[in-house]
């Protein structure tokens, strides 16, 4: 699911005419946090971080996940 989160984040950054640094500033998170999510370094983005990013973009967490990709995402196996 991390890959889908990164793709959605990039999509929203483009839609909002932002860049990673500007989003980080708006969300009050380090720029490395945004870059780590997008480049796959961060394997499990926390809900608090996602909420901060959503707040920075002026959207709700529900709006972030309200896409066909997340609606049809299969549950992940936890072993």
In the chain, where the domains are located: 2-71
d(CA 39, CA 21): 14
| 2-71 fold | 434 Repressor (Amino-terminal Domain) (1.10.260)
pLDDT, tens digit, for every residue of 38-49? 999 988 899 999
Cα–Cα distance measured from residue 75 to residue 77, given in angstroms and rounded to the nearest whole number: 7
Dist. CA 1–CA 69, nearest whole Å = 10
Residues of the chain under the 70 pLDDT cut: 77-79
In three-state secondary structure terms, 79 is: coil
State pTM to two decimals. 0.87
**What percent of the chain is helix, strand and coil (3-state, nearest 5)?**
65, 0, 35
DSSP reduced 3-state for 77: coil
């Amino acid at each position: 699911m991390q890959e889908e989160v990164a793709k959605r984040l990039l999509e929203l950054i483009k839609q909002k005419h932002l860049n990673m640094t500007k989003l980080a500033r708006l969300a009050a998170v380090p720029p490395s946090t945004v870059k780590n999510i997008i480049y796959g370094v961060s394997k499990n983005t926390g809900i608090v971080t996602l909420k901060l990013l959503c707040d920075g973009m002026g959207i709700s967490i529900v709006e972030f996940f309200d896409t066909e990709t997340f609606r049809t995402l299969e549950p992940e196996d936890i072993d």
